[in-house]
Amino acid sequence: MTGGNLPIAIAAAMVVVVIAAAIADLATRRIPNWITLPGAVLGVTLHAYYGGAHGAMLSLAGAGMAFAFFLLLHLAGGMGAGDVKLAGAVGALVGPQAFVIVFIATGLLGGVAAIALALLRRRLWQTLAQTMVLLSNFGRLRWNAVRRSSSLNRPDALRLPYGAVIAGGALAFLAFYH
């Protein structure tokens, strides 16, 4: 039930959840729990309906994996908690195998959006240099340095509404693999 075989009800639920989250994130820079929690519950419930206990377990595995991936990024100072919860809801809706594709699509879209934002604000070289420091610290597992080098909490930070990027990755998955 993962990958290109998502039942239409699950695909439709995901479209509603990610579009609502993207709109909220773009408008308020927050993704409310009233979007993410029902999205996750709906994912588990629909997978249980279509696939029984096995479907529910796949949904829970997708939610857990997605939550864990994005929690690491959140702990590193790279995104807000709403983004983590939205990723968990998307993982519950698509399952673990498909979430890997969503994760890659989201990362690619996020990179393009970040470069576009940096170019627009005329801060490309500064952003690239800061990204290299961040990746170096991340690669060396220097978590305190990662948090210090993250610009998320700086007033002059280029903030990307990542809920909208996650939505784009999820919708790209549906467009290309469904």
- Which one has a higher pLDDT value, 74 or 88? 88
- Mean pLDDT is highest, among 42-46, 126-130, 142-146, for 42-46
Percentage of the residues of the chain whose pLDDT score is greater than 90 = 62
Among candidate residues 53, 54, 66, the one with its CA nearest the CA of residue 93: 66
Give first-to-last CA distance, the chain, whole Å: 11
The owner of tokens 């949904």 is 59
Residue 90 CA to residue 42 CA, distance in Å, equals 10
Structural contact between residues 170 and 22, judged by C-beta atoms closer than 8 angstroms: no
Structure-block tokens of residue 12? 């439709």
- Distances in whole angstroms, Cα of residue 22 to Cα of each of 1, 3, 62, 77, 104: 25, 22, 20, 20, 18
Rounded mean pLDDT of 165-173?
97
Domain boundaries, the chain: 3-112+163-177
- Distances in whole angstroms, Cα of residue 171 to Cα of each of 77, 78, 82: 25, 22, 18
pLDDT category, 2, cuts 50, 70, 90?
very low
In tens, the pLDDT along 44-72 reads: 999 999 999 999 999 999 999 999 999 98
pTM of the model as a whole: 0.84
pLDDT category, 20, cuts 50, 70, 90?
very high
Rounded mean pLDDT of 16-28?
97
Biggest alpha carbon distance in the chain?
A: 52
